[in-house]
Structure 1
Amino acid sequence: MHTGTTALRLKRRTRRSESTAMTLLNDEDTPQSASPPELTALQRVERKVLWLASSIIDAANAPARKDPDGLKVGGHQASSASITSIMTALWFTELGPSDRVSVKPHASPVLHAINYLLGELDESHLTTLRALHGLQSYPSRSKDPDTVDYSTGSVGIGATAPIWGAVARRYAADTVGRPRTAGRQYSLVGDAELDEGAVWEALLDPSVGELGEIVWIVDFNRQSLDRVVPNISATRLQAMFAAAGWQVVTLKYGHLLRAAFARPGGEHLKRRIDEMTNPEFQRLLRCTPAQLRLRLPGAGADAGADAGPEAAAISALLGCISDADLPKLLANLGGHDLISLQEAFAEIDDTRPTVIFAYTVKGYGLPSAGHPQNHSNLLTPGQMDALAIDLGEDRQHPWQRFDTDSPAGRLCASVAAGLTREPVGASVPPLVPQDLGRTVVGTSSTQQALGRALLDLTRQAPLAARRIVTVAPDVASSTNLGGWLNKVGTWSPTQKRNWFSDDAETILHWNEQPTGQHIELGIAETNLVGLLGELGSTWSRWGEPLFPIGTMYDPFVGRALEPWSFGIYAGGQSILVGTPSGVTLAAEGGAHQSIITPSIGLEQPGCVAYEPAFGQDLEWCLLDSLSRLGRPGGSSSYLRLSTRPLDQTLSDVPADPAARERRRMHVVAGAYTMRRADTPRVQLVGMGALMPEVLRAADRLQALGIEADVVCVTSADLLYRAVRARQGRGEGATAILDQVFPAARPLPMVTILDGHPHTLAFLATINRVPSLNLGVHEFGQTGTLQQVYALHGIDTESIVRAALDLA
């Protein structure tokens, strides 16, 4: 049993509840008076939460908030009602201060209602759902004013975030000394969310089966956006969780239905409900008592004496239940039964992940309950009036809290005190050097330079290097992390034996230990960036900044973009390395050649994108990226690297310390001038692995009597920000534009990159000059490097021709 510090724990009363259930059904006043006082208080809280959540959405759609363009504000009253009982039971009987909860997107009003009752949210916020700077449409760590543990909204991503949060918390405890805590990581998931591939990618990773703090509660209402899902199978889903090593708890029926099943004819009623389709059950929820007595017994029940023995037994059982209680009995599913929910929580096995399938009714407690199109349905003013009467609320004063001396008020105060968390202390990340002091020489690629820079950091800045954690989806060696991995080891919660440590032919060693700094996942990019986001949130969640770096093949950045982008939105700061990249892969063919990723880097909010050409540029860009991690106002970075070996002398790094520092500053600002001609007639602007072709083109043009300036772009992203800042439309340093693209040299421009040509096309607007933009705009082919470059028109010949056309 989980031992949080919640002030209230309701005792298990299964036997008493089942023995009195049928009596309670026949006396509307008995349940309230016969319930234990603490259960009565909890039921009052449950009703209040339902009212507040419904009212928050109602207020958002009030006439005063009407959108001038005629768009509805919207909200999800039915989805909120579906999970109200689950969240009430969880918050008010189970959670401790070390627990964290990811709440399904459409239940954000329920979360805000609970936080309001616990004193975390001012009343002024309750009318601001979906308003500018108000409560967000979906729970947001970074934008909501109250406590939100995990941002959700991108379906499947928020559900899996606590898995990676658990790994991040364990990793921080093992490597940087953060005290390990025993809190659980909960995910409140809608059943339709289980359609998302991200869910199953996460469950199937072998490491997840060891995370006993993970608890998922599935709001199993069997409805999607448009209809009742006819063939959703809890049995199949439960088997999939069980096959992944999870404990599966099924919470299908409440204590009233369980008591009914124990009476004569009850076994037939249970079989009848178990075997009926989802749409049939949902339709019965909206029947009158008379219709229920006719339909619920099953086929032949309306034939009188011709009814089968099972139907007759069910009819006899239903005859003992009043018209008022019959609909309540049918809707008494486990996910709306506070007693059953507490029993399910008590079953959780903390040695492995747990999933609780809690059967619910979408819209439970609302007039729209069970209707197949209730997903976005909003209650009318008349329905809200009726709901207020039913729940004992004041429609004119919807935001009243409980009297502090009432049992429900004391319960809220007690829970609020028990859930109080120690504030996260501000932890300053260790200083990252700007320059490691050596010059990269020889012939090498930016991908190779990444591995060398990480190793150099362990020697020259060990405190900063200790905060680095690398993550890869089974591509550590092919992204040049081998040396780093051998140096720092692989992270594992327990020490494991390396059976190949004495094999002379093994050059990559998997030394798994709690102090390791590399985490290897299966081949699932979604998992990698999900973990990156949580490792990048430890500074704000646990007060321990980490420097997470994830490596993957650049073509798969598009696949990983949504969860990584959402992780950035949620406050996760990390470095994503896409390598190798572009058609420079040549022999790999079109399947592994990336085209759009330079544009992705330019357009992604909360991220700085770099595509360095040379090893020295990569080192400086990496250090700059590390310096922005793990702090308020920090940001993520995307590094697009290449496996193409380049002669590093081409970069011509200045030997003079002042000149070297000036070069470094230009590199991390977005671009630097490689050649400046006396009487230039054209400017060649290249990025990344194509700089040798750009420099050769400049030599060819020189031989033709046409001098050219040559610029190496390291970050189209930062240059675009500088352009917007100069226009007064954004923030960013503009000095780099004056240094590299001075107004006194308005030259016709040829831009070249191994990616879509529009990525650098905006540079011509700086000085309003003619331009030709070379790049890749179709899927590639297999071939030699020069064959592939010529195919796409990014080889030296193509650059020369473009320059001649302009000059």
Structure 2
Amino acid sequence: MAVATELDLQALKRVEQRVLWLATSIVHHANRVRENSSGVKVGGHQASSASMVSLMTALYFGVLEAPDRVSVKPHASPVLHAINYLLGRLDRRYLTTLREYGGLQSYPSRTKDPDPVDYSTGSVGIGATAPIWGALAHRYVAGHFDVPRGGRQIALIGDAELDEGACWEAIADPMVAGLGEVMWVVDLNRQSLDRVVPDIAAGRLAAMFEAAGWHTVMVKYGPLLRNRPELRARIDAMPNEEYQRLMRAGAAELRTRLEVPVDDLGDAELLATFRDLGGHDLTALLDGYRQADEVRDRPSVVFAYTIKGWSLPTEGHPANHSALLSNEQYRAFAAKLGENAQDPFAPLDPDSPEAHLCAATGSRLKRGATRAVPAPKVPDDLGRKHTGNESTQQAFGRFFVDLVREAPEVADRVVTVSPDVGTSTNLGGWINKAGIWHPGDRIDWFADDTDTLVRWRESDHGRHIELGIAEVNLVGALGELGATWSRDGQPLLPVGTIYDPFVARALEPWSFGIYAGGQSILVGTPSGVTLGPEGGAHQSVITPSIGIEQPGCVAYEPAFGQDFEWCFLHALGQLGKPGGTSAYFRLSTRPIDQTLHTGTREEALAGGYKLKPHAAPQVAIAVMGALVPEAIEAARTLTEDAGIDVEVVCITSADMLFRSFQARSGLGDGDPKTLERLFRKGVPIVSLIDGHPHTLAFLGSPITCLGVQNFGQAGDIAELYEHHQIDAESVVGAALDLLG
């Protein structure tokens, strides 16, 4: 990013006006012109867009360079599309398609919009933090592979968005303080959706950023207010609510209520001076961006004071968030700007200075094609013999050591991320081999301590990233690390570890990362009430269902080390490429006898296999994950004590089986034969899972579903299994009830 030294400010001002008009017209057409056959509100955000027009005009036309990437606040998407149109990056026909099927998305989308979008936004707080993790991901991939130079990573956010905890979790992470390419621009319009933001918060917010190691810049006033110290002091002392109220006042009322000398100003001049905020002064904005650009040893934040609904009839009104201009207001607005309401999207005069500025900016920001490097081929297995008693979490820890040995070219692409739980989720061996990634070497003060089992060697060559205890940061980083194949042409294979009970906490940003094109593997471990002594706070129940329901992701819950290895290798092979998918693994700390395993790789990847087959079973026990021993014991009891023929089916992926279930009705892309292979029609089923029982309720009929439906408590797992009715005796009872 570099601020232009010679810029036609008059042309820039005319571009700003054009961007305001186009953004307003995009929303107006979607709501007032385009036919709406359903009658459902289309919506849009003219006021939120208007407050961003000056910030984005100064940024795109006066500051940005081709390598820079920008995350645009969700409600300013019309401004982004207007700018892309002026830069020649969006066909005119799309300007009438906002929120239309196949048209411009409600919020900026990397994967669904027809014009260039650097970051998907829409979920408040996540788009703001994405450039932080984008900067981290670019630094990582640039330090390990040959990629073009990266630029600034910029987030344009609303001040109310700073209420989101995701923002402060990211701002405060120690890793972030050294990312000098990060810049946030805060649209400080003092309004949220329903109200004026109480009090005066900018100074407090700036202090919080500075305490976290950020460089702060304030762009508060334009030249009119800078030359009126008494009026400026009066405005400085106002709470936000008073300023917004006075913005709606006429000149006579304003003179009375300001209580400072303004008699030398005419009515129009007084109203203009009172509104002369730095966020709408292009010169002040360019200077603020210049100040931020001069500091590269830490992140920067620019606070730009703006007016929500700037220049619109609704400006400053507390209820303007979703307000739309009427047809009469729209025509009056066109007359005010000298625009044509009958042809709102007409191109600029090609000989005008503003058209030349747009053309020059479009040329400057044009990016070359990314040279895509294919991800390495992942082997089908690693040659390990899984013997004795082993948990899937142990298999996970050993996996990476085997991967380095058997497939080093794949291991080179792996990057693991954890929120301060790397060693407790069995990554210690991998961390010792791969090292900790950090932007710059750090001293390991415990290197000579013989009692230290994990060597905490930090450098820019490491392949494990350890963040602070904030799961949202973890999945934010995963999403951007999983997008380098499309951003930088270099695929990574990102794997994040998290305690399974906290998957729900991280779900929204991880889901949004998948939506934005990030491909990664999330490992939740340990899981369920099987982690008995940890108590109810650390016992996950709903995560198996989440795995089924998450788009763009395949969920696995293997019981055996071999199944884990096969499925995990397959999941790695789906990362870092067009059409790839993410994966979620739910693992356990409970050791299981590996000699019980009977499945093949193809069966494990398809979703399950017959662990204990029978030619003509009277009942089937379908079990997933750590409860395999209970299923085997129940089958033995039913056979030996009641003479009942039992078949035990080991499920590796309820997700894949549900896809098979849907495919039988012609829905989705699963294999309809998988369920037919595993379950005979009409044979009663007892399903068993250390999670919510409805997860497997689709398997067949008649069926009894056993699982965990209540919050857990501490205790030995035998006690807890009995308490939740997922022990062998409960399975036997359920089978007998089904058989009458």
Scaled to the shorter chain, the TM-score interval is over 0.9
User: Aligned match of 1:774 in 689, 706, 723?
Assistant: 706
Q: Give the CA deviation at 1:434.
A: 1.3
Alignment of 1:17-416 (within 5 A): 38-68=8-38, 70-179=39-148, 181-259=149-227, 261=228, 267-296=229-258, 298=259, 311=260, 314=261, 318-348=262-292, 349-416=295-362
State the alpha-carbon separation in 2 of the partners of residues 324 and 200 from structure 1. Answer: 41
State the alpha-carbon separation in 1 of the partners of residues 243 and 43 from structure 2. Answer: 28
Q: Give the CA deviation at 1:581.
A: 0.1
Q: Give the CA deviation at 1:428.
A: 1.0
Q: Contact conserved, 1:176 with 1:467, CA < 8 A, in 2?
A: no
Partner of 1:633: 579
Question: Which residue identity lines up with residue 542 of structure 1 in the other structure?
Answer: D
Cα shift readout 1:293-327 (whole Å, capped 9, x = no counterpart): 2222x2xxxxxxxxxxxx3xx2xxx2222222221
Cα shift readout 1:89-131 (whole Å, capped 9, x = no counterpart): 0000000000000000000000000000001111110111011
Cα shift readout 1:484-506 (whole Å, capped 9, x = no counterpart): 00011011121222222221110
State the alpha-carbon separation in 2 of the partners of residues 388 and 257 from structure 1. Answer: 28
Q: Contact conserved, 1:255 with 1:339, CA < 8 A, in 2?
A: no
Select the structure of larger CA radius of gyration. 1
State the alpha-carbon separation in 2 of the partners of residues 672 and 411 from structure 1. Answer: 64
State the alpha-carbon separation in 2 of the partners of residues 641 and 213 from structure 1. Answer: 37
User: Aligned match of 2:449 in 503, 518, 528?
Assistant: 503
Q: Give the CA deviation at 1:733.
A: 2.2
**RMSD, matched Cα:** 1.2
Cα shift readout 1:445-487 (whole Å, capped 9, x = no counterpart): 1001011111111111111110000000000111000000001
- Which sections of structure 2, spanning at least 5 residues, go unmatched? none
Q: How many residues align?
A: 736
Partner of 2:631: 694
Cα shift readout 1:675-699 (whole Å, capped 9, x = no counterpart): 1123311000000000011011111
Question: Which residue identity lines up with residue 338 of structure 1 in the other structure?
Answer: L
Q: Contact conserved, 2:422 with 2:428, CA < 8 A, in 1?
A: yes
Cα shift readout 1:517-547 (whole Å, capped 9, x = no counterpart): 0000000000000000000000111111000
Question: Which residue identity lines up with residue 670 of structure 1 in the other structure?
Answer: G
**TM norm structure 2:** 0.98
State the alpha-carbon separation in 2 of the partners of residues 235 and 675 from structure 1. Answer: 67
Q: Does 1:799 align with 2:731?
A: yes
State the alpha-carbon separation in 2 of the partners of residues 178 and 597 from structure 1. Answer: 37
Q: Does 1:679 align with 2:616?
A: yes
Q: Does 1:726 align with 2:664?
A: yes
Alignment of 1:349-498 (within 5 A): 349-498=295-444
Alignment of 1:605-684 (within 5 A): 605-652=551-598, 663-684=600-621
User: Aligned match of 1:711 in 630, 649, 660?
Assistant: 649
Cα shift readout 1:44-93 (whole Å, capped 9, x = no counterpart): 0000000000000001102533242x321110000000010000000000
Alignment of 1:732-751 (within 5 A): 732-743=670-681, 746-751=682-687
Q: Contact conserved, 1:594 with 1:755, CA < 8 A, in 2?
A: yes
Q: Give the CA deviation at 1:437.
A: 2.6
**TM norm structure 1:** 0.90
Q: Contact conserved, 2:432 with 2:456, CA < 8 A, in 1?
A: yes
Partner of 1:659: none
Partner of 1:264: none
Cα shift readout 1:742-771 (whole Å, capped 9, x = no counterpart): 44xx3100000000000001001xxxx311
Question: Which residue identity lines up with residue 285 of structure 1 in the other structure?
Answer: M
Q: Secondary structure at the match of 1:583?
A: coil
Q: Does 1:760 align with 2:696?
A: yes
State the alpha-carbon separation in 1 of the partners of residues 616 and 88 from structure 2. Answer: 71
- Which sections of structure 1, spanning at least 5 residues, go unmatched? 12-37, 262-266, 299-310, 654-662
State the alpha-carbon separation in 1 of the partners of residues 172 and 606 from structure 2. Answer: 41
Q: Contact conserved, 1:156 with 1:196, CA < 8 A, in 2?
A: yes
State the alpha-carbon separation in 2 of the partners of residues 751 and 226 from structure 1. Answer: 47
Of 170-179 and 541-550, the range deviating more from structure 2:
170-179
Cα shift readout 1:634-655 (whole Å, capped 9, x = no counterpart): 01000000001111111146xx
Cα shift readout 1:182-236 (whole Å, capped 9, x = no counterpart): 4100000100000000000001100100000010000000011112122251111
Cα shift readout 1:543-573 (whole Å, capped 9, x = no counterpart): 1100000001000000000000010111100
Cα shift readout 1:654-686 (whole Å, capped 9, x = no counterpart): xxxxxxxxx101101111111112331100000
Q: Give the CA deviation at 1:737.
A: 2.2
State the alpha-carbon separation in 1 of the partners of residues 496 and 309 from structure 2. Answer: 42
Indicate how the Cα distance of structure 1 residues 63 and 51 shifts in structure 2: closer, same or farther if over 3 A, else same. closer
Indicate how the Cα distance of structure 1 residues 232 and 256 shifts in structure 2: closer, same or farther if over 3 A, else same. closer
State the alpha-carbon separation in 2 of the partners of residues 519 and 726 from structure 1. Answer: 43
Q: Contact conserved, 1:10 with 1:93, CA < 8 A, in 2?
A: no
State the alpha-carbon separation in 1 of the partners of residues 616 and 61 from structure 2. Answer: 77
State the alpha-carbon separation in 2 of the partners of residues 160 and 668 from structure 1. Answer: 35
Q: Secondary structure at the match of 1:126?
A: helix
Q: Does 1:600 align with 2:546?
A: yes
Question: Which residue identity lines up with residue 175 of structure 1 in the other structure?
Answer: H
Q: Give the CA deviation at 1:10.
A: 3.9
Q: Give the CA deviation at 1:279.
A: 1.4
Partner of 2:527: 581
Q: Does 1:785 align with 2:731?
A: no
Q: Give the CA deviation at 1:276.
A: 1.3
Q: Contact conserved, 2:521 with 2:584, CA < 8 A, in 1?
A: yes
Q: Contact conserved, 2:471 with 2:505, CA < 8 A, in 1?
A: yes
Of 597-606 and 671-680, the range deviating more from structure 2:
671-680
State the alpha-carbon separation in 1 of the partners of residues 492 and 653 from structure 2. Answer: 24
State the alpha-carbon separation in 1 of the partners of residues 480 and 705 from structure 2. Answer: 39
Q: Give the CA deviation at 1:738.
A: 3.1
State the alpha-carbon separation in 2 of the partners of residues 169 and 230 from structure 1. Answer: 38
Identity of aligned residues (%): 59
Q: Contact conserved, 1:176 with 1:466, CA < 8 A, in 2?
A: no
